[in-house]
Amino acid sequence: MNIKIKYFNENLQKLEKITKGNWIDLRAAEDVVMKKGEFRLIPLGIAMELPRGYEAHVVPRSSTYKNYGLIQVNHQGVVDGPDRETGKGGYCGNDDQWFVPVYAMRDTEVHFNDRICQFRIMEQQPDITFEEVDELTGENRGGFGTTGTV
């Protein structure tokens, strides 16, 4: 699959696929200083023209909180690609730079090119319909978590 990508800064390290797993790291496109309790949209310095019928899921790296004390406030961002049927819409234009929305849990600094989140390209949800039934035939696990207990 070929995906067109635009970089907003020529010094931003180019994207690389992580060899173990299917996530690709994204980097801060500027130095950021935040005080505890501040919210900020950190620019990621890229825009992509996603293929029709696909979207990108942006999530924190496992080390983001430990290294920077940042929480991604939407927990998972979705970058919409073009509609699979019409090819229209999506966040795929020339000026549609990606950002990650974060909240600082402590005073912190993020430097240009620091890896702060990651993404993967996913196929958009297929067309589905819901059928109302009186009973389900799956195994009853108690309705909470994996153990059925609180």
Residue with tokens 């927990």, as numbered in its chain: 75
Do the beta carbons of residue 15 and residue 24 sit within 8 Å? Answer: yes
Q: 64 to each of 18, 23, 69, 110, how far by Cα in Å?
A: 16, 14, 7, 10
Instruction: Show the 3-state SS of 100-128.
Output: EEEEECCCEEECCCCEEEEEEEEECCCCC
Quote the tokens at residue 51. Answer: 């293929």
| Active-site choice (25, 80, 96, 114) | 80
Reply yes or no on whether 80 is catalytic.
yes
137's tokens: 């035939």
User: How far is it, in rounded angstroms, from Cα 56 to Cα 48?
Assistant: 10
Annotated active-site positions, please? 80
